[in-house]
């Protein structure tokens, strides 16, 4: 029987595979890339299956043009893993497969092209670079090749074809083939640096992992900042590395944590593969290849590094597992931590999740015994604990969100030569309406939840039952007017700060100002050298970096999170506060952390400050259970945006009608998104919620095809987000 047909996955926004004819003699591997005609274009596709017949009439089928790989670029295990993801996230497989591949492979570069390399000839080895001093580029290339062969792909970023030709004609360089056997002897070269003796809790954690490091098992390592989690990672992976097993470590933000990477390098004396958004496509490709061939013992990377293949996988570690950056926020909205759980299960290796402030999802899994819970309660270092204080904003005169007392306090810290950090919590962007005199917040009576202010609609809306009412002119409790929304943007604050504290330099760190690794790096460098005295930022400031000279931290708008319609806002705020407190004034300065609020006696706030995150998180979990919110229920969010508010609304209404919500699946909406208008487009949402994951999955499996075919589906921009993190 000849397998004359192939099912090909293509990176197009359509579900299902496409049948193609296989030309005589072409026998592709499953998971290999091919080039196929598609409409008028040529697309790179992945072979999913070869078969002897097709349901399509043969004369309608087109033929595969080129087979790009001898070997699969996606292993069967990866295909299974990504297939699962396609089902789970209700996202087209083709797009998922291509997300998981390095750009060079997506573009269809052949293995030959990717492996083309240059090396010095004997003559080139003996050539004194000085002889080429009149041709600076040629000289540079010669010097670059002195240590050994290099990939053409990488070199061609710096040298033009003419340079290669010139040196080749002088017989100084020649083509080399890097398809030589991978160097797998790194385990023999591990040279262990001196390491601290683990304390009791660390020892317990390390041995618990060591006892179960051969099969799938999830561990949650919950330990306050500075309690020695990284040390546990280091000691837990040592035995695996010695057996030649590879370790993949995910971190939220590499630009902020170069010291973590260095610690892994120094501890084992091994090369560490690093993957983050600042790399070129070729650099990324190189790490991918080395990890896949088994040449790298350790790979550290941000979210998309979860797709790094490993020849001999030993363990996956997700550091700061609660961090929001693990969730992809557009296109295929996967969660790298959740993808890691499924991958570890398929690879049959342990997964280690670490955090000072675990997500409620992971904490729940640990408390119910699904994950093994490892606790570190003591701080390993000798940093002084930070003092927390609450500042009641009610009736106070504010300038740029700061009271007079706070402005004086900031001035005092600056005069002592210390740095001050000001945080704005962006979560819960469209906030509740709060009375500045008495702190009253307007609540929905059926849900006991605060209404969310929607300025452009000119109304208050409950995001839990979609009830709406007009914006009140005065406070229903004390009669004061007007009511005010909480919150302010970073830019606005930056401008205000400059006028409030002349003579001091302010630096703003948010995802806009910190774009690009060089820029962020420079900014952090400047901060640590004291060029800036005032640091203004969002969550990104709290990620893994240490600011030893910060003595005062102010969180400006706690209420925005306490009364947000986004039920995760309080959890995120608690994580922020705890992470910041763990990092400010580490060395010798006594740090102070101030929280500004209209509700100093709010129970969650009180619990967090008096009993710490661990206690808070357990209380918050009880609340979630009571309210049947995740992780005690499951959610999916349809988003739609359009220049015409009615179109976005009508599309979601039709989706809702198709889905026919009932007892096994509730639907809330369509209602405006928290940020109801962005760049001139109206944004609406429809939330699905169910006690069982299958409640949502079954309906979507059945109906996604129909939803995609709705006439409005082509008119509005829409997406589906499983386990949404942002509302």
CB of 260 to ligand ADP, least distance (A): 8
Instruction: Give the interface size with ligand ADP as a residue count (CB under 6 A).
Output: 15
Is the CB of 339 or the CB of 671 nearer to Zn ion?
671
CB of 368 to ligand ADP, least distance (A): 24
Whether the bond between 679 and the residue before it is cis, its omega within 30 degrees of 0, is no
DSSP string computed for 667-718: EEEEEEEEEEEETTEEEEEEEEEESSHHHHHHHHHHHHHHHHHSGGGGTSEE
Q: Of Zn ion, ligand ADP, none, which one sits near residue 196, judging by CB under 5 to 8 A according to partner kind?
A: ligand ADP
User: Per rule CB under 6 A, is residue 225 in the interface with ligand ADP?
Assistant: yes
Task: Tell me which DSSP letter residue 402 carries.
Answer: B
Residue 692: how many other CB atoms lie within 10 Å:
12
Task: Tell me which DSSP letter residue 580 carries.
Answer: H
Q: Taking CB under 5 A as the criterion, which residues in 448-477 touch Zn ion?
A: 462, 464-465, 467
Is the CB of 104 or the CB of 689 nearer to Zn ion?
689
User: Per rule CB under 6 A, is residue 230 in the interface with ligand ADP?
Assistant: yes
From 197-205, 327-335, 454-462, 479-487, give the range in contact with ligand ADP by CB under 6 A.
Answer: 197-205
Q: In the beta sheet, which residues pair with residue 316?
A: 248, 351
Exactly one of 150, 199, 328, 466 binds ligand ADP (CB under 6 A); which one?
A: 199
Q: Of ligand ADP, Zn ion, none, which one sits near residue 230, judging by CB under 5 to 8 A according to partner kind?
A: ligand ADP
From 228-236, 292-300, 474-482, 528-536, give the range in contact with ligand ADP by CB under 6 A.
Answer: 228-236
From 229-237, 271-279, 484-492, 704-712, give the range in contact with ligand ADP by CB under 6 A.
Answer: 229-237
CB 19 within 8 A of CB 55: yes
Instruction: Give the interface size with Zn ion as a residue count (CB under 5 A).
Output: 7
User: Per rule CB under 5 A, is residue 444 in the interface with Zn ion?
Assistant: yes
Task: Give the H or E element holding residue 264.
Answer: helix 258-268
Q: Of Zn ion, ligand ADP, none, which one sits near residue 380, judging by CB under 5 to 8 A according to partner kind?
A: ligand ADP
Q: Taking CB under 6 A as the criterion, which residues in 177-196 touch ligand ADP?
A: 196
Distance separating alpha carbons of residues 619 and 363, to the nearest angstrom: 12
Task: Give the H or E element holding residue 117.
Answer: strand 116-120
CB of 196 to ligand ADP, least distance (A): 3
Task: Give the H or E element holding residue 83.
Answer: helix 76-88
CB of 461 to Zn ion, least distance (A): 9
Q: Of ligand ADP, Zn ion, none, which one sits near residue 228, judging by CB under 5 to 8 A according to partner kind?
A: ligand ADP
User: CA 288, 289, 293, 295: dihedral to nearest 10 degrees?
Assistant: -80
User: φ, ψ for residue 7 (rounded to 5)?
Assistant: -95, 125
From 6-14, 222-230, 268-276, 626-634, give the range in contact with ligand ADP by CB under 6 A.
Answer: 222-230
CB 30 within 8 A of CB 78: no
Q: Taking CB under 5 A as the criterion, which residues in 287-306 touch Zn ion?
A: none
487 Cβ neighbours under 8 A, 6+ residues apart: 424, 425, 428, 429, 431, 557, 560
CB of 445 to Zn ion, least distance (A): 7
CB of 379 to ligand ADP, least distance (A): 8
User: Per rule CB under 6 A, is residue 229 in the interface with ligand ADP?
Assistant: yes
CB of 684 to Zn ion, least distance (A): 17
Is the CB of 98 or the CB of 451 nearer to Zn ion?
451
Q: Of Zn ion, ligand ADP, none, which one sits near residue 465, judging by CB under 5 to 8 A according to partner kind?
A: Zn ion
User: Per rule CB under 6 A, is residue 228 in the interface with ligand ADP?
Assistant: yes
User: Per rule CB under 6 A, is residue 227 in the interface with ligand ADP?
Assistant: yes
CB 344 within 8 A of CB 350: yes
Cα separations (Å) of 494 from 2, 472, 489, 510? Answer: 69, 31, 9, 11
User: CA 105, 106, 107, 113: dihedral to nearest 10 degrees?
Assistant: 10
Task: Tell me which DSSP letter residue 195 carries.
Answer: -
CB 637 within 8 A of CB 686: yes
From 181-189, 224-232, 592-600, 656-664, give the range in contact with ligand ADP by CB under 6 A.
Answer: 224-232
Is the CB of 8 or the CB of 462 nearer to Zn ion?
462
Q: Of ligand ADP, Zn ion, none, which one sits near residue 444, judging by CB under 5 to 8 A according to partner kind?
A: Zn ion
Q: How far is CA 113 from the centre of its chain?
A: 32
| One character per residue 331-370, x = contact with ligand ADP (rule: CB under 6 A) | ----------------------------------------
Distance separating alpha carbons of residues 721 and 327, to the nearest angstrom: 10
Alpha helices in 269-359 (DSSP H): 281-293, 336-347
Alpha helices in 501-591 (DSSP H): 517-528, 558-562, 569-583
User: Per rule CB under 6 A, is residue 380 in the interface with ligand ADP?
Assistant: yes
Is the CB of 69 or the CB of 320 nearer to ligand ADP?
320
User: CA 208, 212, 214, 215: dihedral to nearest 10 degrees?
Assistant: -130
DSSP string computed for 406-462: HHHHHHHHHHTT-EEEEE---SSSS--EE-TTT--B-EETTTTEE-EEETTTTEEE-
CB of 198 to ligand ADP, least distance (A): 5
Is the CB of 129 or the CB of 381 nearer to ligand ADP?
381
User: Per rule CB under 6 A, is residue 544 in the interface with ligand ADP?
Assistant: no
CB of 460 to Zn ion, least distance (A): 10
Token representation of residue 583: 């990092």
User: Per rule CB under 6 A, is residue 222 in the interface with ligand ADP?
Assistant: no
CB of 546 to ligand ADP, least distance (A): 10
488 Cβ neighbours under 8 A, 6+ residues apart: 400, 401, 424, 556, 557
Q: Which of 330, 238, 254, 340 is nearest to 514 (CA)?
A: 254
CB of 433 to Zn ion, least distance (A): 15
CB of 315 to ligand ADP, least distance (A): 16
User: Per rule CB under 6 A, is residue 198 in the interface with ligand ADP?
Assistant: yes
Is the CB of 41 or the CB of 197 nearer to ligand ADP?
197
User: Per rule CB under 6 A, is residue 381 in the interface with ligand ADP?
Assistant: yes
List interacting residues with ligand ADP (CB under 6 A): 196-199, 202, 223, 225-231, 380-381
List interacting residues with Zn ion (CB under 5 A): 444, 446-447, 462, 464-465, 467
């Amino acid at each position: 029987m000849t397998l004359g047909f192939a099912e090909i996955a293509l990176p197009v926004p359509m579900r299902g595979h496409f049948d193609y004819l296989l030309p005589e003699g072409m026998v592709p591997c499953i998971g290999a890339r091919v080039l196929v005609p598609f409409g008028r274009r040529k697309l790179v596709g992945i072979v999913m299956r070869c078969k002897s017949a097709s349901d399509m009439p043969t004369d309608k089928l087109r033929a595969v043009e080129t087979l790009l790989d001898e070997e699969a670029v996606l292993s069967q295990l990866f295909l299974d893993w990504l297939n699962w993801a396609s089902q789970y996230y209700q996202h087209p497989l083709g797009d998922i497969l291509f997300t998981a591949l390095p750009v060079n492979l997506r573009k269809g570069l052949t293995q030959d092209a990717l492996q083309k390399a240059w090396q010095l000839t004997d003559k080139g080895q003996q050539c004194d670079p000085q002889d080429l001093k009149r041709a600076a580029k040629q000289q540079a290339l010669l010097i670059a090749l002195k240590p050994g062969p290099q990939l053409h792909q990488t070199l061609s970023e710096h040298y033009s074809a003419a340079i290669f030709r010139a040196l080749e004609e002088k017989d100084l360089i020649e083509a080399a083939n890097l398809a030589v056997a991978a160097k797998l002897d790194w385990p023999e070269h591990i040279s262990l640096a001196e390491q601290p003796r683990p304390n009791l809790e660390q020892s317990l954690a390390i041995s618990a992992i060591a006892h179960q490091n051969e099969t799938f098992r999830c561990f949650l390592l919950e330990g306050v900042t500075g309690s020695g989690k990284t040390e546990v990672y280091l000691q837990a992976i040592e035995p695996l590395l010695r057996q030649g097993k590879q370790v993949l470590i995910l971190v939220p933000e590499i630009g902020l944590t170069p010291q973590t990477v260095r610690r892994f390098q120094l501890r084992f004396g091994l090369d560490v593969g690093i993957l983050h958004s600042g790399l070129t496509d070729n650099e990324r490709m190189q790490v991918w290849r080395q990890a896949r061939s088994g040449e790298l013992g350790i790979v550290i990377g941000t979210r998309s590094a979860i797709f790094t293949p490993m020849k001999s996988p030993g363990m996956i570690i997700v550091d700061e597992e609660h961090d929001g950056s693990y969730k992809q926020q557009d296109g295929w909205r996967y969660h790298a931590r959740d993808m890691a759980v499924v991958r570890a299960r398929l690879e049959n290796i342990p997964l280690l999740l670490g955090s000072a402030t675990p997500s409620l999802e992971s904490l729940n899994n640990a408390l119910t015994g699904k994950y093994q819970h490892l606790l570190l309660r003591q701080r390993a270092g000798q940093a002084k604990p930070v003092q927390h204080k609450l500042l009641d904003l009610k009736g106070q005169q504010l300038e740029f969100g700061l009271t007079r007392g706070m402005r004086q306090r900031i001035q005092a810290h600056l005069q002592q030569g210390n740095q001050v950090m000001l945080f704005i919590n962006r979560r819960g962007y469209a906030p509740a309406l709060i009375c500045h005199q008495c702190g009253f917040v307007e609540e929905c009576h059926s849900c006991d939840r605060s209404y969310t202010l929607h300025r452009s609609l000119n109304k208050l809306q409950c995001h839990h039952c979609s009830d709406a009412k007009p914006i009140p002119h005065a406070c229903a409790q004390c009669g004061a007017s007007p009511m005010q929304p909480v919150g302010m943007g970073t830019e606005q604050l930056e401008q205000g700060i400059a006028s409030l504290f002349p003579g001091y330099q302010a630096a703003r760190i948010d995802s806009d100002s910190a774009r690009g690794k060089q820029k962020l790096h420079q900014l952090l460098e400047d901060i640590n050298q004291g060029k800036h005295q005032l640091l203004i930022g969002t969550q990104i400031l709290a990620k893994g970096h240490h600011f030893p000279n910060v003595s005062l931290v102010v969180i400006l708008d706690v209420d925005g999170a306490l009364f947000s319609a986004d039920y995760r806002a309080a959890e995120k705020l608690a994580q922020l506060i705890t992470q910041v407190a763990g990092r400010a004034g580490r060395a010798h300065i006594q740090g102070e952390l101030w929280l500004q609020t209209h509700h100093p006696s709010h129970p969650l706030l009180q619990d967090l400050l008096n009993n710490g995150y661990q206690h808070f998180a357990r209380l918050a979990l009880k609340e979630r259970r009571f309210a049947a919110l995740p992780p005690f229920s499951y959610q999916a969010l349809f988003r739609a945006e359009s220049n015409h508010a009615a179109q976005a609304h009508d599309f979601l209404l039709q989706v809702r009608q198709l889905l026919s919500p009932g007892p096994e699946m509730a639907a809330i909406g369509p209602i405006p998104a928290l940020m109801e208008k962005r760049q001139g487009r109206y944004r609406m949402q429809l939330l699905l919620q169910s006690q069982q994951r299958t409640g949502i999955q079954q309906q979507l499996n059945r109906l996604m095809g129909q939803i995609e075919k709705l006439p409005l589906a082509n008119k509005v921009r829409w997406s589906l987000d499983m386990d949404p993190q942002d509302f």
